[in-house]
Amino acid sequence: MDRPPRSELRAADGTLVETLSTADVSALDAIDWRPPEEFVVKADDGVTDLHGVIYHPPDFDPSRRYPVVEIMYPGSQTTAVPRTFVPNGWGLQAQALAQLGFVTFIVDARGQPGRGKTFQDVVYKAIGRNEIPDHVATIRQLGEARPYMDLSRVGVHGYSWGGYFTLRAMLLAPEVYHVGVSGSPVVELESVAWVPVEPYMLKPSENPEGYAYASNLTIADRLAGKLLITIGTADVNTPFAQTMRMAEALIRADKPFDLLVLPDQSHGLQGQSMTYFQDAMARYFVEHLEPLRSPASSSP
């Protein structure tokens, strides 16, 4: 992730014949860009390695204290951690928020693909059970090794499945996650498309306990931090009705939350609505995590 793209012509024995092209990344100097830092921590089981990346603010000073934002997508069908110089969408979000003064990070927890069957089998019949403990273990290990991460100011953002796990993080670990922005969230598993659910969870009739545990609706009363939920009215992946059910659960639990409705927007936001959503997310984290409030300190 620290090597700009280049194309090389090499002989069959590997000898360099000619460098054909090298990406011009000089514009990154204008924003004091620094490559993300790769890390390895232990999962909640204390044994399994988890891999991730950290993004730092452009004026990073390890003697200061920075609020932390995690970009989260623990979906069992894909990985989120970028692995190339040109980042994926999650990496772009993490980089953009780092530019505002946050330390941001992304980690792939147990249950995600690419690490073998044992690694992914953790989610079998148990989506929503082990992912957040792994992410909490990651935050605590990162904070212990990096005193500049202020764990009294931690935010989390995810979209779609990431929105589901953002809600889950805020509800299952309110002592760890203090501010959340949940975009177009799944709120429970019975009412969404079966394709990303039933291969792992079986049918609801075959795994009622697993589906019941995975619902965010039944634990709405655990909310303690600041929560913004966003949803498009034309979303068919995570229908508007799902968000309304979450809103009702929070209202019945007497838990304050914020809601941003994007008219006529589907699951993939377009144009000005996408810009408005991104700006709203940034404002929410800046307002509630205060990245400029970072007094010099070398202790946790």
pLDDT in tens, 214-243: 999 999 999 999 999 999 999 999 999 999
* pLDDT of the residue at 32: 81
Taking the C-alpha atoms of residue 55 and residue 96, their distance in angstroms, rounded to an integer, is 9
Catalytic residue check, 51: no
* pLDDT of the residue at 30: 83
Enumerate domains of the chain plus CATH numbers.
32-289 (3.40.50.1820)
Catalytic residue check, 157: no
Arithmetic mean of pLDDT, 5-34? 93
* pLDDT of the residue at 194: 75
Per-residue pLDDT reduced to its tens digit, 29-86: 888 888 999 999 999 999 999 999 999 998 899 999 999 999 999 988 899 999 999 9
User: Which candidate in 51, 191, 267, 294 is catalytic?
Assistant: 267
The model's pTM:
0.92
Arithmetic mean of pLDDT, 19-38? 91
Q: CB neighbours of 279 closer than 8 A, spacing ≥ 6? A: none
pLDDT band at residue 297 under the 50/70/90 scheme: very low
pLDDT band at residue 299 under the 50/70/90 scheme: very low
Kindly tell me if the per-residue pLDDT of 300 is higher than 60: no
Catalytic residue check, 288: no
User: Which candidate in 160, 182, 184, 288 is catalytic?
Assistant: 160
User: Which candidate in 56, 150, 235, 288 is catalytic?
Assistant: 235
Arithmetic mean of pLDDT, 140-165? 97
